[in-house]
Chains A and B, each alone.
Chain A
Amino acid sequence: MEPAFEIVVTALLVIAGTFGLIGSFGLLRLTDAMQRLHAPTKATTVGVGAALIASVIDLYLYRSELTWQELLVAVFLFITAPITALFLAKIHLHQTVPRDLLPPTGTGRDWATFDQTANGPTPELPKD
């Protein structure tokens, strides 16, 4: 059973290194800002995920202790990566698209990046 595990760990490590390199190379080589947003997601999900799974299997193989803590890191990265990408896309929109070209929001309030108040319009004080 051990050689099978060893092959799995080796394959996972090679996949992790290759995808990490591909992600960062894409970040280096792609031409447009939004294209560059696409490349490092591969490094996040497949690269780090494969490295963490390889670590779990390796610890089980050589120290025979099964730990699931590493998967927490992977889960945290999987949760936070889309939020980061969303914020970066918003920065791109905010800085490149002129305000006149933005469509109306349809809610009576401005777009979130231009809206002046954080918690909605200030309520009118009752006049008596």
Chain B
Amino acid sequence: MIGYALTYALGCFGIALACNLWRVLRGPTIADRILALDTMVINMIALIVLYGIRQGGPLNFEAALLFAMTGFVSTVAYAKFLLRGNIIE
């Protein structure tokens, strides 16, 4: 039963990644693209976690945490650059 639910969740997050990619390509404003990239990172974290459940082994916890941190830092850095024209003042 868990296998079916895992397949469903993996498929959902895959479609979600495709939606985000469309928004990255089409996004009318730059904030939309940043938001879509941030959501892509979050969906990738979910995919890594679900893959860990499917493997049944030790969870790829470090990979998920690294994705979360780099995604957040890159989003804030880009936003800071757009707001101030400089990242570290």
Contact = CB atoms under 8 A, between A and B. Distances in A.
Nearest to B56: A62
A84 B52 contact: no
A11 B36 CA distance: 27
Interface residues of A, number: 53
Main secondary structure of the interface of B (DSSP, over half): helix
Contacts of A69: 59, 61
A91 B31 contact: yes
B35 A37 contact: yes
Interface string A72-94: 11001100100110011011101
Interface in A70-122: 70, 72-73, 76-77, 80, 83-84, 87-88, 90-92, 94-95, 112-113, 118
6 contacts: A43-B16, A48-B45, A69-B59, A72-B61, A76-B65, A90-B83
Interface of A: 6-7, 9-11, 13-14, 16-18, 20-21, 23-25, 27-28, 33, 36-37, 40, 43-44, 47-48, 51-52, 54-55, 58-59, 62-63, 67, 69-70, 72-73, 76-77, 80, 83-84, 87-88, 90-92, 94-95, 112-113, 118
Interface of B: 1-2, 4-6, 8-13, 15-17, 19-20, 22-23, 28-32, 34-36, 38-39, 42-43, 45-46, 49-50, 52-53, 56, 59, 61, 64-65, 68-69, 72, 75-76, 79-80, 82-84, 89
